[in-house]
Structure 1
Amino acid sequence: MIPLRRIVTISCAGLLLASCGIDGGDSAAGDAETDRQSETLALAISYPRQADAAGFARAALATSLGKSGDFSVLEATDLDHKGPGNPMARLVWRIHRNKIDSGWKHTPAFDACYSVEFNYDGVSSGPSRIICPESATAITPPPLPRRDIPSDFAPALETTLGALPATPGEEDVRAALATGLPTPPVAPETGLAGIPPQIFVQVKGSDVGVALFARIGVGDEDCMLGHRVGGAVKVWSLNWRDLGPRETPCSAETALAAP
């Protein structure tokens, strides 16, 4: 069992945060611009929801600021929490500012560090300026494979449904889908192959309904439906509005019943 508190990484090799200098205070470096950048970043990575601290770190590093050479994540920590309103993850990040030495302005280089905590709904505290931990190194959480349904699944599903025998059994449909649907591609940026969607099938006589379902995030789903009803083939996708808790389920029954 994974413990409730799992530290993805911690600066200063296991020392308490206070002993590492992460205690805030007037001496913490930063300015109005790094404050603005941190506030914008914290808001940006609050949604889509993340499952853990590593997810928030990945989201931060995927932003324009995160991809720059001036930004680094120093800590991503999962926090003990009892409910969705309690803080579940803490990030500490650093923004580097080069010195400015012009005829009218002289500003020394500095590193501004911030601590921010997130709960299920987004930011629960911070971003707050803190003293940068000494000897802290940037971390990069391991990448995750893509879980969405690629666009080339739609024409493949349509072709597969159209080529089924007149009165197929469920196993016939599943076998046809196993060979007819494409393999999710390998993402060049991570080198990881995508996760194929779940497949649901329902057959009634000569009519067939198929649902492809993928859970791509904590609260995000991807759904593609297809049917052959009365000999006519149709393939379509459901968006996040369609997939609300009181809306349309991603199921083979939904596909078969659709007009």
Structure 2
Amino acid sequence: MKPWGIVALIAAVLATLAYIALRPEGDGATDDDADRSAECLARYPVPDSAASFARRELEPYSQCGGWDVIEYTDIGNRLTDTDQPSSRLVIRIHHDEHTALWSHQDAITACYRVEFDYYGLDSGPSRVKCPPGAPALLPPGIKHGGVPDNYKDAFKAALSALPSAPNRDEVLGAVRAKLPQLPIDEHGQPWREPTLDAFVDNGGIGITADGTKGQCLEGTRLADGTVTVEVQTPSDIPEVTKTCTAEGALLSKRPLK
């Protein structure tokens, strides 16, 4: 190969490496999720503001994905400039690490910018760099999900005070009596109440608070009186999807026979 050819090859390789290094995170699966979300957001009736698009993304019944919204901005007048973008959303899509029998997929987080006009989708979704530490935003009308931190103390107090052989209703009643008031978000509305579950079996008690999106608080009391309260962590076993159930919480803490 002639010297100029070697130089051209090296330049091409460096350009390719630079493109790979600078290209925003994402893969075919996140691209497909972003496409589905954008199509869902743009369906009729088209929302009239960026906040309305964000609400549609986050409302469970909309089935638009429920991905994190890290930006929602009105960038134009949808009524006077109908063919120009008037609302912009940036959504963050996350896929957990997944291992199957013959394949492995690393965890990935990708962000996408989507712009809308009066008629619907104007441009995107386009991959963008995810701003480090960007919070998930909640527009007015969407309640904050999750499990408040002070639920841990309430779980411990309820489990410690329960009699030796309560039934499920007694467990749920004792837990609810100890729960603090829900926090108030930046829009002045209370958080969404986590879903409680209880399970009683052979002297053992399991309770959970499901805050959705993988946020689960587990509490257990074994027959010997040992009380444990902790946030659920992903399973170490591939192919297993751990759900937020009181029965699962109790069984996971019982010693293997």
Which whole-Å CA distance do the structure 1 matches of 2:49 and 2:234 have between them? 36
**Partner residue in 2 for 1:185:** 183
**CA shift for structure 1 position 247:** 3.2
Residues 1:256 and 2:240 are matched in the alignment:
no
Residues 176 and 141 of structure 1, relative CA distance in 2, 3 Å threshold: closer
Q: Match of 2:218?
A: 225
Matching of residues 10-21 of structure 1 within 5 Å: none
Shift of 1:208: 0.4
Q: 1: CA distance between counterparts of 2:67 and 2:196?
A: 29
The residue number in structure 2 matching 1:247 is: 241
Are the counterparts in 2 of residues 58 and 141 from structure 1 also a CA contact under 8 Å? no
Report the secondary structure of 1:59's partner residue: strand
Alignment length, in residue pairs?
161
| 1:201-235 residue CA offsets vs partner (Å, 9 max, x unmatched) | 110132101111122xxxx3210101000211000
Structure 1 residue 50: Cα displacement: 5.5
Equivalent residue for 1:214? 211
Q: What's the TM-score, normalizing by structure 2? A: 0.51
CA deviations 1:228-250 (Å, max 9, x no partner) are 00211000112467799723221
3-state SS, counterpart of residue 60 of structure 1: strand
The 3-state SS of whatever aligns with 1:258 is helix
Q: CA separation in 1, counterparts of 2:139 and 2:242? A: 35
Among residues 157, 168, 183, which one is paired with 1:159 in the alignment?
157
Residue aligned with 1:8, SS: coil
Percentage of matched positions with identical amino acids: 20
Matches within 5 A, 1:1-259: 4-9=43-48, 59-61=70-72, 72=75, 74-75=86-87, 90-92=114-116, 116-118=123-125, 123=126, 142-187=140-185, 189-215=186-212, 220-229=213-222, 230-239=224-233, 246-259=240-253
How far off is 1:117 after superposition?
2.7
SS at match of 2:70: helix
C-alpha separation between the residues in 1 aligned to 2:225 and 2:142?
40
Q: SS state of the match for residue 182, structure 1?
A: coil
- The answer to which structure has the higher strand fraction is 1
8 A contact 1:9–1:76 mirrored in 2? no
Work out whether residues 71 and 88 of structure 2, in 8 Å CA contact, stay in contact via their aligned partners in 1: no
Query: 1 CA distance for matches of 2:67 and 2:242?
Result: 29
Q: Distance in 2 between matches of 1:242 and 1:168?
A: 32
CA deviations over 1:58-100 (Å, ceiling 9, x no partner): 5214xxxx6xxxx8473269xxxxxxxxxxx94249xxxxxxx
Relative to structure 1, the CA distance from residue 146 to residue 57 in structure 2 (aligned partners, 3 Å threshold; closer, same or farther) is closer
Cα contact 1:200–1:212 (8 A) shared by 2? yes
SS of alignment partner, residue 167 of structure 1: coil
- List, as ranges, runs of 4+ consecutive aligned residues in structure 1 with deviation greater than 6 Å: 241-245
Alpha carbons 2:58, 2:142 under 8 Å: kept: no
Higher relative contact order (CA 8 A, sep 6+): 1
Distance 1:244 1:50, change over 3 A: farther
Residue 174 of structure 1: how far off its partner (Å): 0.9
Alpha-carbon distance in 2 for matches of 1:151, 1:243: 27
The change in CA–CA distance for 1:242 and 1:186 in structure 2 (over 3 A counts) is: farther
RMSD of aligned Cα (Å):
4.2
Greater helix percent: which structure? 2
**Structure 1 residues without counterparts, runs of 5 or longer:** 12-44, 78-88, 94-113, 127-139
